[in-house]
Amino acid sequence: MNKTILLATHNHNKVKEFQEILQPYGYDVLSLKDIGYNKEIKEEHTTYKDNAIAKVEALEHVYDGIIIGDDSGFEIAALNFQPGVYSARFMPEYSIKERNQAIVEKLKNEDDRSCAFVCSIACLKDDKLWVTINRSFGTVAKEVEGTNGFGYDPIFIPLGYDKPFSLLDRSIKNKISHRALAIEALVQYLENS
Ligand code: ITT
């Protein structure tokens, strides 16, 4: 069985997480850099699933093998589930650190701090398209702390923990995150298809 997968992302943090999670299952994850693909892949859709599919389809005629795409986001209940599918484009004038600080500030007097990370993975294998969407739930932290992970990790405290992903060992994120859950479903699909 072919155990090499191309991941259609330009986000090197995602590549690292996919490699760490899939390696124990015996999969090799190639990045777009590995195949010398440097064109931008546009995210023009309003759902995670459609964006994940678009990422895979952009590579369909470029790579002959298993291709996966990941579209993810951060949903905050008190902000009407923003930034959601627009997470990568939220407050573009701010650095990610400033963005996290701005979110903490917006929620300063908010009792409902519930939030979720979302990950949709699309997979193209033998001309068949498969998609999953998974969420991990938590609360928004009261301050921006820690350096592990990326993006909104410094303000996401997963349910059952008292620290954000940025302060937890990365092996914990790789077990319980939205991406870990979606990858678990992907492995089940690949092993049974
Ligand atoms: P690609 O489209 O090239 O895959 P991207 O960074 O643009 O990379 P997304 O469109 O899926 O990825 O954007 C999701 C944004 O949500 C991402 O830039 C992060 O800021 C945030 N995000 C996604 N997964 C995350 C995670 O596991 N931890 C923290 N933040 C995350």
Query: For the segment 99-130, what is each residue's pLDDT rounded down to a tens digit?
Result: 999 999 999 999 999 999 999 999 999 999 99
**pLDDT given for residue 174 in this prediction:** 98
Structure tokens at 118: 């979302």
- pLDDT tens for residues 161-193? 999 999 999 999 999 999 999 999 999 999 999
Strand partners, 5: 29, 66
**pLDDT given for residue 43 in this prediction:** 86
The residue nearest atom 20 of ligand 1, judged by CA position, is 151
The residue nearest atom 16 of ligand 1, judged by CA position, is 73
Q: Is 75 in the pocket of ligand 1 (CB under 6 A)?
A: no
Q: How far is CA 44 from CA 8, 66, 112, 179, in A?
A: 15, 23, 31, 21
Cis? peptide before 83, omega within 30° of 0: yes
Task: Determine the residue of 72, 136, 156 to mutate for testing ligand 1's pocket, defined as the one with the most ligand atoms within 8 A of the Cβ atom.
Answer: 72
- pLDDT tens for residues 12-45? 999 999 999 999 999 999 999 999 999 999 889 9
CA of 12 from ligand 1 middle (Å) equals 10
Q: How far is CA 12 from CA 29, 31, 164, in A?
A: 12, 8, 21
The residue nearest atom 28 of ligand 1, judged by CA position, is 153
Residues annotated as catalytic (active site), given as ranges? 71
- pLDDT tens for residues 132-161? 999 999 999 999 999 999 999 999 999 999
Whether the predicted pLDDT of 1 surpasses 80? no
Whether the predicted pLDDT of 52 surpasses 80? yes
Q: Give the whole-angstrom CA distance, residue 191 versus residue 1.
A: 9
Q: Is 10 in the pocket of ligand 1 (CB under 6 A)?
A: yes
**pLDDT given for residue 57 in this prediction:** 97
Q: Give 2's pLDDT tier (boundaries 50, 70, 90).
A: confident
Q: Give the whole-angstrom CA distance, residue 123 versus residue 55.
A: 10
Q: For the chain, what's the residue count?
A: 193
User: DSSP character for 74?
Assistant: E
In this structure, is the dihedral angle defined by the CA atoms of residues 144, 148, 151 and 155, taken in order, positive or negative?
negative
Q: Give 47's pLDDT tier (boundaries 50, 70, 90).
A: very high
